[in-house]
Structure 1
Amino acid sequence: MAEISTQIKGNKKLAQFLEEQKSNIVDMWIGHVLLPQNDPFYTEVKLNGYQTIDELIYFLESGSLEHVVKLTTKIAKERIEAKANIGDFVHNINIGRSIVYELLMCSLLNEQEKGEGVLLMQRYFDHLLLLSVEHYTALKDSIIENKNQFIQEMHHDRLTMLGQIAASFAHEFRNPLTSVKGFIYLLQRELEKTEQSEYYFEIIQNEMLSLEEKISQFLYLSKMRGLEDNLVKVPFTALIKKMFEFMYPRFTEANIIVQLKIKEDVYIEGDSSQIKQVLLNILVNAVEELSEWKGERKIEVSLIEKNSHVELSICNNGNPIPEYLLENVFQPFVTTKSLGTGLGLSVCKQIVEKHNGTIEVKSKEEFTCFTITFPIAE
């Protein structure tokens, strides 16, 4: 509660002037305020104008601003519900201030009374404006926070539903796929082997592996599995080298230069098969991106220790990820590829976070870099 000195109490002449001019002030103010079209509180706006002058008179007579809080809370709530712009809101208060000043300057009060009146009204309107903006902002922030929470809950519910659909989809495909693989194996044993048939069976096997890979990604997405069953000390350096050896034929086929700068004998704790999946997804994405690159193709990898963590960076010099996708690139079904599923990086993020790690991406014209950190195993 704001109080001023007792010397302003009993300022009856100024209070009487405002009482006489109240209707005139409000009518002039209503003619200049900025309001949203079809404002639902139009009638209340005029009443608020009258109450504002009443509170000013009370302030002049008592020196107290205690009633202003209730007024500004009411006004802020109405302006929020009317979807009023905060700039218009501030403008309307200042218009009221200007009208009161102008009428005061044209009144029959003497110069000393006018000077004192301006100072007192300045304090009142400053306080009114401050409280109004504070209440308006607090209400706006609360609404935004509630909307963000609602969006997050909706997003979580959709991902849960998506996970259930993905699990059902994956199982429905995996069962017949197992049967198909079995019969292909029997056909390979029974049919006469020729160079052409071996070539066909090789294509079938590769496509089956690709399909199994996609199904595994759906299962990773749907199960949100933990690491309780397979938590072991993983030789991270050796695992990285193995994955690069596995990918070597694809690097060679795409004419990609690979540069490795990795610290030896680094260990992390987790599931080696899931870590392999992360590395595979990122490396396959890099190869596919570089396959369309016209210039020299590079993948640069570094592995360093930082305090109690290990940091792995995998960079390629292909086309950068569009800025509008960068923020959501780890979300399910977000992809830069025309025929991509958008599951690979989502699976990577899920696995890394299950290992108490982090994954982030930075993409510029020169390089796109994925940086993964894991706690070092004790």
Structure 2
Amino acid sequence: MDSSTHEQINKKLASFLSEQKSSIVEKWLENVLLPQNDPFYEEVKKNGYQTIVELIYYLETDSLDRVSNLTNKMAKERIEAKANIGDFVHNINIGRSIVYELLMCSLLNEHEKGEGVLMMQRYFDHLLFLSVKDYTALKDSIIDRKNQFIQEMHHDRLTMLGQIAASFAHEFRNPLTSVKGFIYLLQRELEKTDQSAYYFEIIQNEMQSLEEKITQFLYLSKMRGLEDKLVSVPLTTLLKEMLEFMYPRFTETNIIIHCDLRDEVYIEGDSSQIKQVLLNILVNAVEELSEWNGERIIEVKLKRNLEKTVELSICNNGNPIPDYLLENVFEPFVTTKSLGTGLGLSVCKQIVEKHNGTIEVNSKEDFTCFTIKFPTIKESSR
């Protein structure tokens, strides 16, 4: 078909649409899906008319350059009206169907109708593509801004929480030190009996528990450890020491320990802080397994990786961590325990990251595994 014939057909189609514009929009408005009390109802009518205007312009000029202005406007209005993208696509396709139906019922000949269908197909495909693209881009932009706002709020709250935690922790630690001193003096002054020794043991245990909680708050505040000197730490030996320290708890709760520790591995760090990490994870495993009815197993593996890192995994076969907690399990105050503070794993994460390491958790029906990776150093670096 030559260009002159093509232009003549397009002029006929444009003329036909101009005559039918009002009836097309009226019929379209009867079938569209709009939210109740849509605030843009009048704009929707205008958009319907503008859709036909742009179609006529396309038939006259063979250009789709102006369509993006319309789709961007419609996308903004549909998002503000809280319309879902399914309804948005449905409404465009309704308009397409109405135009096709009127075209097929027109007095145009079959060749002109065929050409009209092809031209309108291209137009509505392009209109639909841009509409979905603009709607999705705007929606993603809104979600990104909300996520950024939430993250900033979360960061600000954690920063404030850290400052409050540090303040309270220091205020508690000073009188606690005094109380410990006076308890020590009372132990020396008072006559010792089995009963008093039992009471003092309870007091000492409770004081130690308070000190541990205060230490966790100080780690959480990130004010602890900035001045720490990092030295070569024999991780394998340290892990063996913590397993021996926990042995009475393992025996008491009938836990079977499977170890694969192999050779000594050295990392650069603070041994007391690494012990804190190992103790927190082992204690969590013991507490979880203490409520487990079946066979109780803790697996501890330590292996070197090719990329000069060491990988430590501590797994238990207790109940899995619920999916809704798993993603945020290292956040402060997130806990599976009814009486837990939710600080232990958050402290672990901060300590590990301070040592240039990573910590992850994987929880399935059979096992819950905490995997820690540290960069290794040579023994001669000590």
Q: Map 1:272-351 onto structure 2 (within 5 A).
A: 272-307=271-306, 308-351=308-351
Q: What is the distance in 1 between the residues matched to 2:154 and 2:329?
A: 16
Aligned partner of 1:138 in structure 2 is: 137
* Deviation for aligned residue 1:294: 2.2
Measured after TM superposition, the shift of residue 227 of structure 1 is 5.3
What is the CA–CA distance in structure 1 between the aligned matches of 2:286 and 2:261, rounded to whole Å? 20
Q: Distance in 1 between matches of 2:191 and 2:227?
A: 47
Matched, 1:124 2:119: no
* Separation in 1, partners of 2:50, 2:227: 66
Give the TM-score of the pair, scaled to structure 2.
0.95
User: After superposition, what is the alpha-carbon deviation per residue over 1:202-255, rounded to whole angstroms, capped at 9, x for unaligned?
Assistant: 111111111110110011001254555321111111111111111122222222
Give the superposition deviation at 1:31.
Answer: 0.6
d(CA) in 2 for partners of 1:36 and 1:184? 71
Alignment of 1:260-275 (within 5 A): 260-275=259-274
- Residues of 2 paired with 1:121 and 1:295: CA distance? 68
Structure 1 match to 2:152? 153
Secondary structure at 1:104 match in 2:
helix
Match of 1:26 in 2: 25
Counterpart of 2:36 in structure 1 is: 37
Q: How far did residue 281 of structure 1 move?
A: 0.5
Q: Is the 8 A contact 2:218 2:224 kept in 1?
A: no
Q: Closer, same or farther in 2 for the Cα pair 1:195/1:69, shift >3 Å?
A: same
Residue 7 of structure 2: aligned partner? 9
Q: What is the match of residue 200 of structure 2? A: 201
**TM-score (normalizing by structure 1):** 0.96
Report how far residue 24 of structure 1 moved.
Answer: 0.4
**Matched letter for residue 198 of structure 1:** A
Give 2:361's aligned amino acid.
V
Range with bigger deviation, 212-221 or 285-294? 285-294
Aligned mates of 1:344, 1:252 — CA distance in 2: 23
Greater shift in the superposed pair: 105-114 or 313-322: 313-322
* Root mean square deviation of aligned Cα: 1.4
The ranges of structure 1 where at least 4 consecutive aligned residues each deviate by more than 4 angstroms after the TM superposition are 224-228
Residues 1:217 and 2:245 are matched in the alignment: no
CA deviation digits over 1:103-149, x for unaligned, max 9? 01111111111111111111111111111111111111111111111
> In 2, distance between residues paired with 1:7 and 1:361?
69
**159-168 or 19-28, which deviates more:** 159-168
Flag structure 1 segments of 5+ consecutive residues without an equivalent.
none
* Superposition deviation, residue 172 in structure 1: 2.0
Equivalent residue runs for 1:105-120 within 5 Å: 105-120=104-119
Does the CA contact (< 8 Å) of 2:17 and 2:56 recur in 1? yes
Opposite residue 371 of structure 1, the aligned amino acid is T
Distance 1:45 1:202, change over 3 A: same
Greater Cα offset, 312-321 or 151-160: 312-321
| 1:353 aligned residue | 353
Range moving further from structure 2, 188-197 or 360-369: 360-369
Is residue 6–residue 63 contact of structure 1 (8 Å, CA) maintained in 2?
no
Q: Partner of 1:87 in structure 2? A: 86
CA contact under 8 A between 1:8 and 1:60: conserved in structure 2?
A: no
Distance change (3 Å), C-alpha of 1:219 and 1:29: same
CA distance in 2, matches of 1:79, 1:51: 16
Give the total of aligned pairs.
374
User: Could you tell me how far 1:323 is from its partner in structure 2?
Assistant: 2.0
Contact between 1:9 and 1:62, CA under 8 Å: does it hold in 2? no
Residues in 1 aligned to 2:309 and 2:330: alpha-carbon distance in whole angstroms = 22
One-letter code aligned to 1:21: Q
Q: Displacement, 1:6? A: 7.5
Relative distance call for 1:7 and 1:187 in structure 2 (3 A) is: farther
Residue 259 of structure 1 contacts residue 301 of structure 1 at CA under 8 Å; is this kept in 2?
Answer: yes
Q: Secondary structure at the match of 1:31?
A: helix
How far did residue 37 of structure 1 move? 1.3
What is the one-letter code of the residue matched to 2:330? Answer: F
Task: Tell me how far 1:340 sits from its aligned partner.
Answer: 0.5
Give 1:196 deviation, angstroms.
1.5
The amino acid across from 2:147 in the alignment is N
Identity of aligned residues (%): 82
Instruction: Give the secondary structure class of the aligned counterpart of 1:328.
Output: coil
Contact (CA 8 Å) 2:79, 2:135: kept in 1 or not?
A: yes
Partners of 2:327 and 2:316 lie apart in 1 by 19
Deviates more, 1:314-323 or 1:70-79: 314-323
SS at match of 1:257: strand
